[in-house]
Chains A and B, each alone.
Chain A
């Protein structure tokens, strides 16, 4: 299973990348895209929306099932990946390149409390 070392993770299968400007880039893990199967619909939050940690703020639907995507930490949505609603399969092709949205975290330290690669790998039973 592909779990890049440099990223942080949530138990609900989001990955989080800390950018140099302090924002966080969020996507779903390779494990999540595999479990969901072919994605056919993605709904992203509005830019400017303020979300709480663990708040449902996006939806991905595969042929099989719909799944909420949760904000890994609280903050403001600063950007969304506009390519995805028309080409959701990009997430299946490369889950770590196909980010969903970017957040400006309310608490810059919050990301430190997320799972590291080893903990996430253990959480998905792939250790």
Chain B
């Protein structure tokens, strides 16, 4: 039996094409994935991301705990409401998950983790809490739904759909969130566009979704979410990284501060390991197919593999993230095995597209 979000019936009534996404019954599109993609780049679209898990960490010493538990440094969070992207690492440096942590008060942090990894993340946090900070309580918020409203017009349309939300959220800078009553609104997302992620009681999710639709926000499925995040150069857990690789091989060195004296879970393993491979962007130069995950990439320095590939609606060209030998440089031409032929692709630095514009030449 697939798990359902509070918006399941709304998706079905809208004619969504539903798929099994890691045990969740989720919309992949509502007709055309490409039109949904363009709606987000050019106007406003919304995604049901209620399958993602909100986990609240309460109690004294939460910052000290997270300073060790997370690979990125929560001391970057000094203003209440500020958010940070981080990996949760295993002791061997493998990536258990990537997540967003919000600093709300010194005794209250909110963490948003991936759906498929939520259970193992919570088990990992609980083990670390038991060992280091037993005074903390970790509360999975299965009572909350989450809607991402994304696109250049997303904020204005949310203010229209959620009366009273504008005063508290208009001043939010990117990567900042604020409580509005029992609703949490954050200027975050997974598309490379402006917008909000809204966490609210599950019982009110359908009403907000319908109000957003009435305000002209286009319902978008997980298909468009994937092409948008890939254009934006954002990793997908389980595809671009997992427990078998570390953040340094996954384009996430910027989230790991190895130079500071701060100790964190997995740090020792990272220090002992110079990455032989790195994540890079690929732009398909030849015609003849679409770049896809697991295709082999031949380079002058040896072989690599595509971790995520798709057709980019914004570039009208195929793009990919690929794990390549460390010596491969931006601008190099590589050959990708696409079905029965080898196609030329150029190594580029992601993102491919953000804020409605192509970012690579």
User: Smallest CB–CB gap between A72 and chain B, Å?
Assistant: 21
B33 touches A59 (CB 8 A): no
Q: Which of B150-158, B209-217, B258-266, B288-296 contacts A (4 or more CB under 8 A)?
A: B288-296
| Contact (A63, B289) CB under 8 Å given A38-B33, A40-B311 | no
User: Is B72 interfacial (CB-CB < 8 Å)?
Assistant: no
- The answer on a CB contact under 8 Å between A66 and B292 is yes
State whether the Cβ of A81 lies closer than 8 Å to any Cβ in chain B: no
Residue pair B290, A41 in contact (C-beta under 8 Å)? yes
Q: Which residue of A lies closest to B290 (CB)?
A: A61
Cα–Cα distance between A59 and B21 once the two chains are bound (Å): 26
Contact with A along B31-64 (1 / 0, CB 8 A): 0111000000000000000000000000000000
**Is B227 part of the contact surface with A, judged by Cβ < 8 Å?**
yes
Instruction: Give the distance to chain B from A31, nearest Cβ to Cβ, in Å.
Output: 12
Q: In terms of DSSP, what is the predominant structure of the interface of chain B?
A: mixed
* Chain B neighbourhood of A34, CB < 8 A: 17
B223 / chain A contacts, CB cutoff of 8 Å: 37, 63-64
* Contact residues of A between 30 and 44, Cβ < 8 Å to B: 34, 37-38, 40-41, 43
Closest to B313 in A: A63
Given A37-B33, A41-B290, A63-B290, output 8 extra A-B contacts at Cβ < 8 Å: A37-B17, A40-B34, A40-B311, A43-B288, A61-B289, A63-B223, A66-B289, A66-B290
Interface residues, chain B, with chain A CB atoms under 8 Å away: 17, 28-29, 32-34, 223, 227, 288-290, 292, 310-311, 313, 339
Which A residues contact B (CB, under 8 angstroms)? 34, 37-38, 40-41, 43, 59, 61, 63-66, 89, 92
